[in-house]
Structure 1
């Protein structure tokens, strides 16, 4: 299910909890909500609310770290592509085919990372990006002096590094937020809103505040899910470094 769909379900549960609490307030006997009982209920709410806030904060931090990692890896790949092209250009005109293979590889990576169907494209077999062809073209070079031998060795190392980074991104693309942890957190939030609804008088102001709070909580969940899917949705990793690298190739 998509991130907006999951966050909508979370919102229904959380805000529904507040409505259930308001209904229970009318059904329970008055002595269940007297001062002593209210104190205990408030303490329990504080405990559950604190745990929920802590876990929610940890999930946001984890998702942000994952998103930043993907951004960094895209930047590193782009930098390696530019340096590799510079090295091949320094080698000599016999690297023309290798530079063309590098350009094709960059275009494929850019197409996969920036595809409108990002989830589908990003999970393609990483061997399909042409890295093997690029490596073979570099390996086929016959250096005639120490400078060319050094450049060839460095070029092979950078080509391998690009392939390794792409494979790392591919493997990381299979990661996602823990669904059981997310479900437990939604349960905690729902319990908190049930208690709030139980203690609050059912008037328009209270309902509006509950609605805004539920939207905020479900919005945080949407943010977490979106950052764990950095190549789809509306929070996407920028492909600007790859586009800049592709524009530079061949110069």
Structure 2
């Protein structure tokens, strides 16, 4: 919701800047809007528009990279959960309780990621969940292998469990996004200047106003997508947890 409100604010600011430009142009002396003046203004604002386009492209690329990184972490986590369950299953029937705990904790984790509860943010890395993770690792370490094969399987399970919890922690650390807010505000300021200049140079008719309205919607939509992809665990544009649910269905216990 915060991202939608911010994008709506960007739309209103950019569109208002275009309308303000149209209004200002009515009161400017005629020689300020001569062909020579208009050409100079177009060259200047063209430079700003080019810089803004480059920054916009970089922000979209950065946000997409954050989105893909978290998505890959969760998919990798799901694959490791299956590997961990398999290692415990091969160890022997004494790990049945551990496998049931693993499946229960993973189900709770998936439900928490899918939830839109207002307290979800605090619960994602709560001491209770971290304590469960540590307790599970201690339970694996406390296994008493009787054969060389069980020794190897316990060591393998501990390594996989460490990878599982490391991937989880990495995904949580990246949930806040990587796009600097200052850069976003500067970009919005540039967009307002660009649209204001367009308004000054544009003819005064309804078609131009509709065109500015459409372009302002597109610009604010791009800002909305950047903010949404930059926070892949929240909002409308979220990473898919389909792989995690599929992994959960394949777990024993």
TM-score tier, shorter chain, comes to: over 0.9
Between the aligned partners of 2:239 and 2:51, the Cα distance in structure 1 is 31
SS at match of 1:27: coil
> Could you tell me the TM-score, scaled by structure 1's length?
0.95
Match of 2:223 among 221, 224, 249: 221
Gaps spanning 5+ residues in structure 2: where? none
Q: Assess if the C-alpha contact under 8 Å between 1:113 and 1:121 holds in 2.
A: no
Match of 1:55 in 2: 55
Between the aligned partners of 1:97 and 1:144, the Cα distance in structure 2 is 18
> Could you tell me the TM-score, scaled by structure 2's length?
0.95
The size of the alignment, in residue pairs, is 251
Q: Does residue 212 of structure 1 match 2:214?
A: yes
CA distance 1:97–1:10, shift in 2 (3 Å): same
Between the aligned partners of 1:175 and 1:225, the Cα distance in structure 2 is 8
Q: Assess if the C-alpha contact under 8 Å between 1:122 and 1:231 holds in 2.
A: no
RMSD value, Cα:
1.6
Larger mean Cα displacement after TM superposition, 133-142 or 19-28: 133-142
Q: How far apart are 1:118 and its partner, in Å?
A: 7.3
SS at match of 1:177: coil
Q: Does residue 169 of structure 1 match 2:171?
A: yes
CA distance 1:53–1:119, shift in 2 (3 Å): farther
Q: Does residue 155 of structure 1 match 2:157?
A: yes
Match of 1:140 in 2: 142
Between the aligned partners of 2:227 and 2:117, the Cα distance in structure 1 is 17
Match of 2:90 in 1: 90
Q: Does residue 37 of structure 1 match 2:32?
A: no
Q: Assess if the C-alpha contact under 8 Å between 1:75 and 1:242 holds in 2.
A: yes
Between the aligned partners of 1:191 and 1:123, the Cα distance in structure 2 is 42
CA distance 1:108–1:127, shift in 2 (3 Å): farther
Q: Does residue 11 of structure 1 match 2:8?
A: no
Gaps spanning 5+ residues in structure 1: where? none
